[in-house]
Structure 1
Amino acid sequence: MPLYVLLIALAVLLILSAFFSLSETSMMAINRYRLKHLAKQGHRGARLTTRLLRNTDRLLGVILLGNNLLNAAAATLVAVIVSISFGQSDLALFFGTVGVTFAILVFSEITPKVIAAAYPEQIALASSYVLTPLLKLFYPVVWFVNLFVQALLIMLRLKPAADNGTQKISMEELKTLVLEAGHFIRKKHQSMLLNLFDLETFTVDDVMVPRGQIEAIDLDDDDETIHNQLLTCYHTRLPVYRGTLDNVAGIIHVRKVLNQMRSGEITSATLEKIMRTPYFIPSGTPLFSQLQLFQENRERVGLIVDEYGEWMGLVTLEDIVEEIIGEFTTHAPSQVGTFLKQEDGSLIVEGSTLLRDLNRKLGLALPLGGPKTLNGLILEHFQDIPEAGTSLKIAGYPMEIIQTQDRVVKVVRIFATSAPTEQEGPLGEYTES
């Protein structure tokens, strides 16, 4: 056979070997979720690729079978070329071996795999049209080889998980994907997705309105007091109690109260007729679960109770929705925490402010595992009620107690070590002192 024919055959073998190297790397590097999307859209190449990836052992078997056969044939062909050109020279055979190894590495292995890693989707979808019939043609050989592979895995006590063409991803990995997709997802949408993931990690205790800040109606008050309170209330749904907040009687909707005003004066007896049975929520319920419970029970307001049945606070459907999309409702003055920014950079904060609001609005990193308010965090730190003027440091943030009243810390000065982040809503509004 003429020498030029042998050289052409060698080039063809290297090109075919490069194809299998391209296919191997592209199949392993392709984005499985993108592949699944293309398959649902009806892309034939994506469907073929998905079928191939469902049996990774067979796919790798046919790729490596072709790759190794071609590489071995190329090495043998080089030996023939050297023998024809230089006879039985050991030195020529040595240089021929080095040359074919270099050619295989550069042209059939490294370069194709680098290209396939850069463009996995285009190459994998195209190569699937060739690999699918090859797998059918050489299936008996691949099956026979895999028998020895499986036996070896059993001897090594290895049991690889079945590959169904998709990759499992954890919640933290999913959050990282959302964060890394900043060029494709709007900042607001990105924030909403991350907040949605956190609904399972936060509970109703993290977003509830503490009992001391709840606007409620006492049925034991006189009719005039009840009437004035209804006219000046800031909410559409109000808890109703008798004597003390521990004795909750129900929930009233202000709209129904306005309808009753047409027929006469509003009295405590009238409120008892239109109020609904209170809906209680166990403390520690995850926000996502509570969102589903609100939907199933057709409720919008729930009263949070602890393990002893004590009423701790109130949570609404709007509170949970705000955890996803941000604040959009107005708040009663008693619930709006104002941050007073001082000339020295410190901040005057109300002790009843939620720690999550401080972290989110001011860019702090106060611990959230225990108490939910700044007052509770300080009391836990001291295990006592501190006096005004007492200084402390929590999570690296120096603080000073400005005012205490009725066994609670009312006002605190925080010497923030980082600049506040962008603010939204009434909680984030600064007032220069």
Structure 2
Amino acid sequence: MDTVPLWVLVLALVLLILLSAFFAMAETALMASNKYRLRHLAERGNRGAVTSLWLLARTDRFLSLVLIANILLNAMAAALVTVVAIDLYGDEEGVIAAAAATVAFLLIVFAEVSPKVIGATYPEPIAVATSLPLQALLRMARPVVGIVNLFVRGLLRLLGIRTGADAPPARLSPEELRSIVLDSGPTGAQKHRSILLNLFDLESVKVDDIMVPRAQIEALNLAAPLDTILDQLTTCYHNKLPVYEGEINRIVGILHVRKAVGLLRQADELDKDHLRELLVAPYFVPQETHALDQLQQFQEQRERLGIIVDEYGEVQGLVTLDDIIEEMIGNFTTSMPGAARGEAVAWNARGECLLEGSTPLRDINKKLGLSLPLDGPKTVNGLLLEQLQDIPEAPISLKIGNCIIEVVQVQNQAIKVVKLLRPVSARRLLPF
């Protein structure tokens, strides 16, 4: 080594450590990259992202290249430090041990830990920047990598491990997709995240969770006097009305209100037979149908309104396409009075919330951050009646979970108004 200047040896050592750090950083960055983000960049024409996806599709070859390069570079660096140490201080055992410790420290700090931390911190930018030279190196080292992979695949087959094209395709479950949306953090628009999360929740929601209950259905009774029917037609707030004869379980059709109003203007004498001619066949929906399935059924059947029936064929409620869409994106414009009641589901300054007994428990949980049980009754009235096993006399309070509910008003064998008290754990701590 007398013919080689010391500064050349030191420069060679620095170069070997930098190359080893490059491969360690590139490996960590590529393996830690978000494939969906890379795919988005690739669709926008980013060549580095395209190459990164190409490397990820050949993970076995890429990892073989990185490991071969790292092992060779680290071995050369260790040998070089040892040679320099022996040349300067002799070949004593202490010198060799000190050289080994020195090179191990340099490789751990500068060629392994630091570059890998950097690669894990900025995965996509580094993967995009390093993918092109890695692709070129992989193509040049194809014979060596191919020989190594030949033995590796043979060993993996003996162990029963499938890789590459033989491996089963990775598919994300709805829960995993939900986790991806939740992990997006503040990078995504809050409204978009809310819609996506509601869409995932739609698979677990049934139509009877979002239906208009039977008692609140606005329907037309053909058995009523004609004047009553006409008054109802001219004052209704809906475009379509279920029509029954005698009692609600005998629904005979759906009436398009605009057509009926147009008929009022054209016909001098309007009778019930004219209304029957305007009816279309009702569309019935089983009570246990999931909201997402019903959304698809509405699309396929080209319907917008369904009558929900139980296993005995009795009417339980009504669901519309708007109800399901509102479940995903929230309430939107409507001419129905009291439609903005959902906006009143909020805590006031005293930590209280005054609600109607017919308020759905799902809305309460979603807007007040509570966890009232949803596996039984659908409304706060039903929940309280189930807990009390009796129709209470106001005022009375009970605690369900960590929330105190006070019955304020009882009317017509039902709880009309309740007051919820915010749980202590959910109250904001006021500064003193």
Cα gap change, 1:402 to 1:2, in 2 (>3 Å) = closer
Is the Cα–Cα contact under 8 Å of residues 210 and 324 in structure 2 kept in the other structure? Answer: yes
Q: Of 349, 363, 377, which aligns to 1:357?
A: 363
Decide whether aligned partners of structure 1 residues 239 and 419 sit closer, same or farther in structure 2, where only a CA change above 3 A counts.
Answer: farther
- Is 1:17 matched with 2:17? no
Matches within 5 A, 1:151-162: 151-154=154-157, 156-159=159-162
Q: Distance in 2 between matches of 1:92 and 1:379?
A: 85
User: Does 2:254 align with 1:251?
Assistant: yes
What is the CA–CA distance in structure 1 between the aligned matches of 2:109 and 2:349, rounded to whole Å? 66
Offset at residue 275 of structure 1 (A) = 0.9
**Aligned partners of 2:280 and 2:314: how far apart in 1?**
20
Partner amino acid for 1:356? R
CA contact (8 A) 1:302 1:316 kept: yes
Matches within 5 A, 1:76-87: 76-87=79-90
Structure 1's 174 and 345: CA in aligned 2 closer, same or farther, altered over 3 A?
same
Structure 2 SS opposite 1:183: helix
Secondary structure in 1 aligned to 2:418? Answer: strand
- Asked if the contact 1:27–1:53 (Cα under 8 Å) also holds between the matched residues in 2, the reply is yes
Identify which range, 100-109 or 382-391, moves more after superposition.
382-391
Which residue of structure 1 aligns with residue 4 of structure 2?
Answer: 2
Letter in 2 for 1:89: E
Within a 5 Å distance, the mapping from 1:9-408 to structure 2 comes to 9-154=12-157, 156-159=159-162, 169-261=172-264, 262-328=266-332, 329-332=334-337, 346-408=352-414
Distance 1:27 1:300 in 2: 48
Q: How many residues align?
A: 420
CA displacement 1:264-296 (0-9 Å, x = unmatched): 243221111101111111112222221222122
Taking a change above 3 Å as real, the CA distance of residues 420 and 239 of structure 1, as seen in their structure-2 partners, is: farther
Please list the CA deviations of residues 136-174 of structure 1 after superposition, one character each: whole Å capped at 9, or x if unmatched: 23223223323443444455555568699x975443443
* Contact 1:213-1:335 within 8 A present in 2 as well: no
TM-score (norm 2): 0.87
1:37 Cα deviation (Å)? 1.5
Quote the Cα distance in structure 2 between the aligned partners of 1:394 and 1:189: 33
**Partners of 1:55 and 1:163 within 8 A in 2:** no
1:338-369: per-residue Cα shift (whole Å, max 9, x none)? Answer: 77999976444322221123233444332222
CA distance in structure 2 between the aligned counterparts of 1:47 and 1:130, rounded to whole angstroms:
13
Residue 187 of structure 2 aligns to which amino acid in structure 1? F
Which structure 1 segments of 5+ residues have no match? 422-433
**SS where residue 186 of structure 2 aligns?**
coil
**In terms of mean alpha carbon deviation, does 316-325 or 185-194 score higher?**
185-194
CA separation of 1:30 and 1:108: change in aligned 2, threshold 3 A: same
Between the aligned partners of 2:229 and 2:144, the Cα distance in structure 1 is: 88
Judged with a 3 Å threshold, the aligned counterparts in structure 2 of structure 1 residues 88 and 391 are, in CA distance, closer, same or farther, namely closer
Moved more, 339-348 or 401-410: 339-348
Higher deviation after alignment, 287-296 or 182-191: 182-191
Distance 2:292 2:113 in 1: 49
2:322, 2:315 → 1: CA distance? 20
Whether the 8 Å CA contact 2:346–2:367 is kept in 1: the answer is: no
Normalised by the length of structure 1, the TM-score is 0.87
Distance 1:22 1:343 in 2: 53
Cα deviations by residue, 1:25-63 (Å, 9 ceiling, x for unpaired) = 111122211111122223222222211111211111010
1:410 aligned onto 2:385: no
Cα shift at 1:379: 2.4
Do the aligned partners of residues 299 and 120 (structure 1) sit closer, same or farther apart at CA in structure 2, a change above 3 Å counting? same
